[in-house]
Amino acid sequence: MNFPDSLREFANYVARPAEEIRLDEAALLLARTEYPDLDLPTQLARLDGLAARAECSPRQSPKANIACLNRLLFEEENFTGNEEEYDDPRNSYLNDVLDRKVGIPITLSLVYQEVARRCGLPVVGVGFPGHFIAKYLSDSGEILLDPYHRGVILSLQDCEEKLKAQFGEDAEFRPSFLLVSSTKQTLTRMLNNLKGSYFRLRDFTRVLMMIEMALAVDPASRQEIHDRGMIYFMLRRYGPAMADLRAYLSKSPPDDPQIKEVQTMIHRIRAMQN
């Protein structure tokens, strides 16, 4: 795989002004790290084709449009959540999701959002903790949707229950959990999912690529600098590991709980180099 070319292409794209970054295009450029020959116009045309079949219109009511989107995507096309292989990296690549018709909450929401956008509908992504969702912005109020569960409409109570199911009964619901996820926030979350999937597969070279892409989205991310240092260590690239871990410490507030771990790792690297 030609990682440098695909990374440079992605980095150049996400360096554009925010209003010029399209989620579908950025997600496909992300996928080029795994599929270097991926043809973007062909993949984008697949989303265009889905939108052309959706019997939606801004003149219809929000619930009528939601019903049309749900019928197309979940009844006719049979997109579904991948419960059995949730951690499969293919669930995070948009082209694979379009091929296989399975995904995780964030990528199924991406498909939902992009088909809706092509129909002129105000559907946006929501970075709800532990379970990405979507919402339809209407004059009469926001309608929360769960594309992972066939586009079901969610109440605030449903969201609270999701939160507690994921994080325990003491988890406190906050209205900020339902804010719109920006394109860069969505990309960062997709990359974080892939980083976790590849880490559990012990594919540290691919983990490193996801970190580099996340730093292209947010060059100032302390967490990504920390994680890159740790991955460099696992890859036995001790010089870059030391540089990143020192950079992390220099940017960390005194109460950062990861400081001790990083200091210990730096001592280990020094001992190995002596």
Whether residue 164 is found in the same domain as residue 67: yes
Tell which residue, 74, 79, 126, has the closest CA to residue 135. Answer: 126
Q: Answer yes or no: is 212 within a domain.
A: no
> pLDDT (tens digit, 9 = 90+) per residue, 98-111?
999 999 999 999 99
d(CA 24, CA 114): 7
Q: For the chain, what is the domain count?
A: 2
Which pLDDT score is estimated for 2? Answer: 46
Cβ neighbors of 162 (< 8 A, separation 6 or more) are: 128, 130, 131, 154
- Residue 31 maps to which CATH number? 3.10.620
pTM to 2 decimal places? 0.93
Two tokens, residue 231: 């991955």
The helices-and-strands tally (H runs, E runs) of the chain is 12, 6
In this prediction, the residues of the chain whose per-residue pLDDT falls under 70 are 1-3, 274
Which pLDDT score is estimated for 1? Answer: 43
Q: Answer yes or no: is 224 within a domain.
A: yes
Q: Which amino acid is at 140?
A: S
